[in-house]
Amino acid sequence: MEKPLALKLAPKKLDEVIGQSHLVGKDKILTNLVKSKKLFSMILYGNPGIGKTSIANAIVNELNLRYRFLNATINTKKDLDIVIEEAKMYDGIILIMDEIHRLNKDKQDILLPQLESGLITLIGMTTSNPYHSINPAIRSRCQLFELKPLEEKDIIKGIKKAIKTPYLENIDIDDKSIKQIAKLSGNDLRYAYNLLEVAYYANNKKITEETIKKINSKPVFFSDKNGDGHYDVLSGLQKSIRGSDVDASLHYAARLVIEGDLDSLFRRLSVIAYEDIGLANPNIYPRLEAAINAAERVGLPEARIPIGTIVTEMALSPKSNTAHIAFDEALKDIEEGNVGKIPNHIKTDSKDYKYPHNYKGAYVVQQYLPDKLKNKKYYQPKDIGYEKSIKEIYERLEQIKRNSN
């Protein structure tokens, strides 16, 4: 079976790599390592399709080193044992390992001593953040190199390079179609090559915007439901709503809608309603619930209407985090053992308890916190939205307490 175009175009040398100019090029670290014919264990991390495998293959190819390629998810302990035996036979080997963050404990225990001794030099690759997802023992034995997302100009450069190769003989494509492929690729060069190749064979080597649209009209973007990309989108959504940037809020919500991940969107909006909007606009809670119910009832594509409405309202709503900050402070006291005994007069069946409803305004001054914490103030109100009226009540009650002492 013929190799896909993306594999045929894989760089043989570092200077053929598209993008990653902070690592590859004149006086850049990876290029200098290859020139010095010196290699250390490393982990390359970043989004899919931006050159991790290309760089790893180019390094071993240029240095003419013996290497083996494993995938931490697919390959077994036995496969790793075979690589180690081969390394012993040849006094060392390069192990290129994809999905390095999936390496389980059994395989780690086998690999670690070989990294320590230098028998194996590891080039690991992952789309996850290695500071969070990779075993510290493995991580400490490797240099970490982050690959930056490719830009549209990098994808266009790669496409123009591809159409000059014999693999796409007599191709007929204009600049508009090249740009369209680049836009749809979501800055994933491998995806761009795949789309280019399908379009080439789908319409007798003539590629038009209409051809591309028939194959795929939806842009690709890195989210990775089980990895950092997914949580970065959710983080972008929350920080945008918190920052009252309605356009950015709609953008990140739209990403989740396009991905079809409404569950994550609704869960995060529920958190935002209480964490970031809070007492400044308590009406947002039932309004959000109503929007979620409506979206679930009608389904996509109509669900976008209540979603867009509630996201806009949340972004432009007044914000306050005082309630959850106050509760976090209370939790912290409990966790640190700063508790104290419950006052006798509010214990079960106490005869000394003053029942507030029996007093004017349904309020009476009495101590509720333990003696150890009786002057503790967790809640610090703000003059924002609805909370402004809560603050007035709070300050009036505080004044009554002070006057009673």
* 155-184 confidence digits (pLDDT tens): 999 999 999 999 999 999 999 999 999 988
Q: What residues have CB less than 8 Å from 328, skipping those under 6 apart?
A: none
Q: How confident is the model at residue 2 (pLDDT cuts 50, 70, 90)?
A: confident
On whether residue 322 sits in a domain, the answer given is no
Confidence of residue 196 (pLDDT cuts 50, 70, 90): very high
- Assess whether 187 and 237 both reside in one domain: no
20 and 119 part of one domain: yes
**pLDDT digits 0-9 by tens, 124-137:** 999 888 887 788 88
Give me the pLDDT at residue 379, please: 93
Same domain, 9 and 139: yes
Say if residue 90 is in the same domain as residue 9. yes
- What's the CA dihedral at 291, 293, 295, 299 to 10 degrees? -170
**What pLDDT was estimated at residue 401?**
87
pLDDT of residue 238: 95
User: Domain of 355: which CATH number?
Assistant: 1.10.3710.10
The reply to whether 141 and 22 lie within a common domain is yes
Residue 220 pLDDT > 80, yes or no? no
Residue 109 has pLDDT above 90, yes or no: no
200 domain residue, yes or no: yes
Give the pair of three-digit tokens for residue 275: 């964490």
Q: What is the pLDDT of residue 229?
A: 63
pLDDT tier at 217, thresholds 50, 70, 90: low
pLDDT in tens, 224-269: 544 446 678 899 999 999 999 999 999 999 998 888 788 889 999 9
Give the total number of structural domains in the chain. 4
- Burial degree of 155 (CB within 10 A; 0-12, 13-18, 19+): buried
Given a contact cutoff of 8 angstroms between Cβ atoms, the answer to whether 321 and 276 are in contact is yes
Task: Clarify whether residues 156 and 282 are in a common domain.
Answer: no
The whole domain housing 94 covers 5-146
Within-domain flag for 330? no
Same domain (yes/no): 201, 90: no
Q: What is residue 337's predicted lDDT score, i.e. its pLDDT? A: 87
The SS3 of residue 1 is coil
| CATH number, position 159 | 1.10.8.60
Q: Kindly state whether residues 292 and 191 are assigned to the same domain.
A: no
For residue 331, being part of any structural domain is answered with no
CATH number at residue 42: 3.40.50.300
Domain assignment of residue 333, yes or no: no
Instruction: Give residue 183's pLDDT.
Output: 87
266 located within any domain: yes
Of 183, 161, 153, the C-alpha closest to 21 is: 153
310 touches 270 (CB < 8 A)? no
pLDDT at 207 over 70: yes
The CA distances from residue 249 to 168, 220, 317, in Å, are: 42, 19, 12
Measured from the Cβ of residue 356, the count of other Cβ atoms closer than 10 Å reads 13
Q: What strands lie across the sheet with 42-45, from one edge to the other?
A: 67-71, 93-98, 120-126, 42-45, 143-146
Question: Would you say residue 191 has pLDDT above 70?
Answer: yes
pLDDT of residue 247: 94
Q: Could you tell me what percent of the chain has a pLDDT over 70?
A: 96
pLDDT of residue 74 exceeding 60, the answer is yes
Q: What is the pLDDT of residue 226?
A: 47
Measure the CA–CA gap between 103 and 20, rounded to whole angstroms: 26
For residue 325, is it within any domain? no
Give 135-154 pLDDT, tens digit per residue. 888 888 999 999 988 888 99
* Residue 70 resides in a domain: yes
Residues 106, 131, single domain; the answer is yes
Computed over every residue of the chain, the mean pLDDT equals: 90
Tell me how far apart the terminal alpha carbons of the chain are, to the nearest angstrom. Answer: 88
Residue 405 confidence (pLDDT) above 80: no
Residues 46 and 138 both lie in one domain? yes
